[in-house]
Amino acid sequence: MVKKRVAILISGRGSNMAALIEAAKVDDYPAEIALVVSNRADAAGLSRARDQGVATALVDHRNFGEDREAFERALDEILHANRIEIVCLAGFMRVLTPWFVGRWSGRLLNIHPALLPHFKGLDTHRRAIASGAKRHGATVHFVVAEIDAGPIIAQEAIDVRDDDTEAALAERVLEVEHRLYPRALREVAAGRTKLTASRADNG
Ligand code: GRF
C-alpha cells in the first residue's frame, strides 16, 4: 500500500498531532505523518513531533506582518517541497485565506471541539455548558473558506453532565478527538471519503 504523505499544522501543545502520529505507526494505516509545521516557535507540539522522529518546520507568521497570503505561500512551498498530499489542521490558530483553502480543497482537514454546526469558533465547551446542551463532542471536517463550516467527515458525541465544568468537559471531548481524528484521516487517505460539490461523500 502506498501511504498518503500527510502534514499536520499546529500552533500549540499538539495532542491531536500526537494521536495522529501514533495511529499512523500501524502498518495498514493509509497515511504517514511526513511533516509537522508550526507557526509558533514555542509550540510544545514541535518537540513532541521531533521526539517521535517526525520532521518539523517553522513558518513564523510574524515574519509576514499583515500579509496572510505571503505567509501561506511560504507554508505552501514547504508542503510541496515535502510532497505533502493531505494537510491536517490540529489546533492551528491562523485563519486561512480562500487562496490556500482553494489550493488544498478536499485535502485539508480540521478538527473542531464541538458538534458542528453548533458552537463554531472559540470557547466551545464553556458555551455548550452555558447553553444547557445535553450533548457535545467533536467534529472533523473538510476546510472551506468559511470558518468551521466545511462538510463533516466524522463526528462523535458525548453527554454533558449536570455538574460539568469547562475543564472536565474539555478533557472528555479531547479523548474523543484523539480517536476521531485518526479515524477521519483514515477514511480520507484511503479514498473512502471525498469532498464533493457540497458535502463529504462516504458513499
Ligand atoms: C483541540 O481541542 C482542537 O479541537 C482545537 O484545538 C485544540 C488543539 O489541541 N482545534 P491540541 O494542540 O491538539 O492538543
User: Which residue type, as a one-letter code, is found at position 27?
Assistant: D
Phi, psi of 62 (to 5 degrees): -65, -20
- Minimum CA distance residue for ligand 1 atom 8: 91
68 domain-assigned? yes
Residue 112 Cβ < 6 Å to ligand 1: yes
User: Whole-angstrom Cα distance, residue 92 to residue 25?
Assistant: 23
Mean per-residue pLDDT, 156-185: 98
183 domain-assigned? yes
The whole domain housing 145 covers 4-191
Phi, psi of 69 (to 5 degrees): -70, -35
Residue 1 has a pLDDT of: 86
197 domain-assigned? no
Query: Is position 112 annotated as part of the catalytic site?
Result: yes
pLDDT in tens, 47-87: 999 999 999 999 999 999 999 999 999 999 999 999 999 99
Burial class (CB in 10 A: 0-12, 13-18, 19+), 37: buried
The active-site residue, picked from 112, 125, 136, 141, is: 112
176 domain-assigned? yes
pLDDT in tens, 136-158: 999 999 999 999 999 999 999 99
Give how many domains the chain has, as a whole number.
1
Residue 186 has a pLDDT of: 98
Mean pLDDT of the residues in the chain:
96
pLDDT of 124 over the 90 cut: yes
46 domain-assigned? yes
202 domain-assigned? no
Q: What percent of the chain has pLDDT over 90?
A: 96
Question: Can you give the CATH number for the domain in which 89 is found?
Answer: 3.40.50.170
